[in-house]
Amino acid sequence: MIARTEVVERPPLLRSVNPATGEVLGEFKNMNETEVLSAVMKAKQAQKSWGFLPFEERAEWILKFKEFIRKNIENIADVISKEKGVSKFEALISDVFPILDLCSFYAKNTEKILKKEKVKIGIWEFIGRESYIEYFPYGVIGIISPWNFPFSIPVGQIVIALMAGNTCVLKPSEFTPKTGIMIKEIFDNIRLPQGVVEVVTGDGYTGECLVKAGVDKIFFTGSTFTGKRIIKIASEKLTPVVMELGGKDPMIVFEDVDLDITSDAAIFGSFFNTGQVCASVERIYVQRKIFNEFVDLIVEKTKKLRCGYSAVPWEYDVGAVISEKQLLKIKEHIEDAKEKGAKILAGGKIKSLFVEPVIIANVDGRFKVVSEETFGPVLPVMPFDTEDEAIQLANDSIYGLTASVWTRNIQRAKRIAQKLVYATVMINDNLITHAIPQVPWGGVKQSGIGRTHGKEGLLEMVQIRHIHINKMGQKIRSPWWYPFTPEKYRFALSLTNLIHSPYLKEKIESLLNIIKNIGKVSKQHL
């Protein structure tokens, strides 16, 4: 039985609401412990056969899934756009499009990446030993997701988990249950065997039940705060976790950049998805010589952004923030900055859940907007003088998700990248790498543990089994077995010197000793 850690009244239903319009999109179960356990049991049962399907068969399912998404891409983007209150264009390019490539990549490459591997075992090979490693699925993967990319984040993890032979139980965010259920419906539509992908809708408590329900690994994506809580709960059963957490991503702009291109990139990197991306540019450091000119440009361009929501996919650039709670955080950061003497250079008007994108100057590391994750359309800009100063400012964070370096001098950018304590460093780009399935995604410091995507992400979905074969095991005894004898002791010393002495003379003497004693030693047994 799961002991509830919080005694709170939980509503039986979750309401999915378009944050841009207030339209109610549907009601979904706020699932309890029994419902979560039942989903996990179904997934466990299904894994018994799914885990033994050949890779090609799993790949066929994934490609069917991909084709269903491709054919229905606009309807899928529509559900996401409404549930997040952002444009359908944004939903399409960020949440659905990358998944098609991801499906192709893992359908084609999983078998190759997970193939059995022989391990070179040095001296042991001379005494008839052989080792290899093979990979096997965990079993049931519990996936707990945020609302900011309610399709691409969980679906990416589900596809990789399935290709590796696991089944999954997904707990979508309480803000986006409709998208979560849509994921299940897509799998039902292609007639994926029951239990292979289960979805449990609900709030944080439902998530907690999933962590406790006996899943074999947890993939959590969300805030660092919740991540730490989940790690504590998971530690009770030593359930392994992958944590994809928050960020405060810096963009470093050198004086040799193309100002026009780089200012466009700054704005896109900061305000895309209403600034609600873990890898959003959350602070910009600009070299002093171009600081004023660069800031003028981003202010001018930010003022041109159209903030609003409509059914026309391209009518607005920046949509709503997801919730009152998120809005409060954004307001808190803006107020803190104002109180400490910052200058608001653009935006800041707030109407219902819409925040006109904000550019803030006259700030430094003491401001919340520079040191804490804002997760909204708020961009602080600061000057720097030297390369070393830029690196020091960028690294001054508890987070380490992504950073970007902007310059025409690629050698300099590579040199700086080596000193940035971030899991991803982009040179002359930002935001994009979560959409590239071949490369690892994750964070260092308090931005996360482990990886999703890439070969590294696939390896997180499997356990390693080492197979060791003693080819002489049925013919002779190992010389270190019982009983311990003086001959065996001397044999061990000779062997040590034969292998490790740097002197040829000592090696030869040891070898002669071994040859002399081996017969005797091999006859000494219980």
Q: Which two tokens stand for residue 504?
A: 């040829």
Q: Give the dihedral sign, CA 335/402/395/286.
A: negative
Positions annotated as catalytic residues are: 244, 278
Nearest approach, Cβ of 171 to ligand NAD (angstroms)? 6
Size, binding site for ligand NAD by CB under 6 A = 30
| Alpha-carbon 21 to chain mean position | 31
| Binding span for ligand NAD by CB under 6 A among 95-103, 169-177, 286-294, 419-427 | 169-177
Alpha helices in 95-203 (DSSP H): 97-113, 123-126, 152-163, 177-189
Residue 424 binding ligand NAD, by CB under 6 A: no
Nearer to ligand NAD, 280 or 494 (CB): 280
Nearest approach, Cβ of 204 to ligand NAD (angstroms)? 3
Q: Give the dihedral sign, CA 202/204/210/212.
A: negative
Nearest approach, Cβ of 381 to ligand NAD (angstroms)? 21
Nearest approach, Cβ of 388 to ligand NAD (angstroms)? 28
Q: Do residues 386 and 379 lie in contact, with contact meaning Cβ atoms separated by under 8 Å?
A: no
Number of H helices, E strands in the chain: 19, 24
Nearer to ligand NAD, 407 or 446 (CB): 446
Query: Biggest alpha carbon distance in the chain?
Result: 91
Which one of 33, 83, 95, 208 is in contact with ligand NAD (CB under 6 A)?
Answer: 208
Rounded Cα distance between 526 and 518, Å, is 17
Which one of 443, 450, 454, 457 is in contact with ligand NAD (CB under 6 A)?
Answer: 443
Closest alpha carbon to 205 in 42, 448, 11: 11
| Ranges assigned E (strand) in 172-308 | 197-199, 217-221, 241-244, 249-253, 281-287
Q: Do β-strands 217-221 and 241-244 pair in parallel, antiparallel, or remain unpaired?
A: parallel
Nearest approach, Cβ of 9 to ligand NAD (angstroms)? 17
Which one of 86, 107, 144, 382 is in contact with ligand NAD (CB under 6 A)?
Answer: 144
Which one of 147, 271, 367, 406 is in contact with ligand NAD (CB under 6 A)?
Answer: 147
| Binding span for ligand NAD by CB under 6 A among 43-51, 140-148, 311-319, 345-353 | 140-148
Q: Do residues 307 and 357 lie in contact, with contact meaning Cβ atoms separated by under 8 Å?
A: yes
Rounded Cα distance between 11 and 203, Å, is 10
Q: Do residues 443 and 459 lie in contact, with contact meaning Cβ atoms separated by under 8 Å?
A: no
Give Cα separations from 349 to 344, 356, 450 (angstroms): 11, 5, 39
Residue 145 binding ligand NAD, by CB under 6 A: yes
Binding mask 238-277 for ligand NAD (x = CB under 6 A): ------xxxx------------------------------
Nearer to ligand NAD, 445 or 490 (CB): 445
Nearest approach, Cβ of 424 to ligand NAD (angstroms)? 10
Closest residue to ligand NAD, based on beta-carbon distance: 207
Nearer to ligand NAD, 205 or 285 (CB): 205
Nearer to ligand NAD, 171 or 301 (CB): 171
| Contact set with ligand NAD (CB under 6 A) | 144-148, 153, 171, 173-174, 203-204, 207-208, 211, 221-223, 226, 229-230, 244-247, 278, 373, 375, 401, 443, 448
